[in-house]
């Protein structure tokens, strides 16, 4: 068996998420379709994570196996052919052979997400940022973001009725970054993320930024572990999976 890693990016606007869905198109499904056609065998890929519908990825990784196959794959040529067949909102950056103990999901040591916010209406970035209609206190939101590093259990930010074995995450970075007078993004890095976690974290930080939640109340939300006490889940279109580390 030979294992191959795929590094790619995609605009998630028209997809029902990364994972194959019975009632809509997925990024995973499109890549499997192209690989299976080109390699003339059924290819199943395993992604580093599962982004929700409408979420984008600047860097995603996945792997697939070629079992009992003596063909030598030209990875650069395969990437070229897959890109020719894929829709333009998915791009393969490279394909490379790896050891069989490398796993796209379980070998990842860290993942980084960005959530983009704009304080003014801009027709050119409306699909990829959240336009706030409120005056936000970003320095206070940064103070709240730093508190995330004090905790491990983030059950309060996990989507309800999600079947997960643990709600523990090791968050190593959480901060707001200003890129212009009118644009900010929230950067968060952790070893793993719960379903809907980043959008729920941002929604709760927005409550702090609107002065509707104090820093002490923000702590209480985390310590209480109840999703109903945290802020709303923010729109998916402004969320990007920025980086995966191995």
Q: Which residues are catalytic?
A: 52
Q: CA-to-CA distance for 205 and 221, rounded, in angstroms?
A: 11
Cβ neighbours of residue 73 closer than 8 Å, sequence gap 6 or more? 2, 4, 39, 66, 95, 97
68: left (phi over 0), alpha (psi -120 to 50) or beta: left
Cβ neighbours of residue 80 closer than 8 Å, sequence gap 6 or more? none
Q: Helices (DSSP H) in the chain: which residue ranges?
A: 27-39, 75-85, 138-147, 197-209, 215-224
What the block records as the tokens of 183 is 């644009």
What the block records as the tokens of 196 is 């809907």
Q: Determine the 3-state secondary structure of 214 from DSSP.
A: coil
**60: part of which helix (H) or strand (E)?**
strand 56-66
């Amino acid at each position: 068996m030979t294992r191959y890693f795929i590094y790619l990016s995609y605009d998630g606007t028209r997809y029902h998420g990364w994972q194959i869905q019975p009632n809509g198109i997925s990024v995973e499904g499109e890549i499997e379709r192209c690989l299976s056609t080109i390699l003339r065998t059924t290819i199943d890929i395993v992604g580093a994570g599962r982004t929700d519908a409408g979420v984008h990825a600047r860097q995603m990784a996945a792997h697939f196996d070629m079992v009992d196959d003596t063909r030598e794959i030209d990875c650069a040529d395969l990437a070229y052919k897959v890109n020719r067949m894929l829709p333009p909102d998915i791009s393969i950056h490279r394909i490379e052979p790896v050891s069989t103990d490398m796993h796209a999901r379980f070998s990842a040591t860290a993942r980084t997400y960005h959530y983009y916010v704009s304080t003014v209406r801009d027709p050119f970035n409306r699909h990829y940022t959240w336009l706030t209609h409120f005056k936000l206190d970003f320095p206070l939101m940064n103070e709240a973001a730093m508190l995330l590093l004090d905790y491990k259990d983030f059950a309060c930010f996990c989507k309800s009725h999600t079947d997960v074995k643990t709600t523990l995450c090791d968050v190593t970075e959480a901060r707001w970054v200003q890129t212009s007078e009118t644009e900010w993004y929230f950067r968060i890095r952790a070893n793993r993320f719960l379903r809907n976690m980043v959008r729920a974290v941002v929604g709760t930080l927005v409550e702090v930024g609107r002065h509707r939640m104090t820093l002490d109340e923000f702590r209480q939300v985390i310590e209480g572990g109840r999703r109903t006490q945290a802020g709303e889940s923010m729109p998916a279109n402004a969320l990007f999976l920025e980086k995966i580390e191995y």
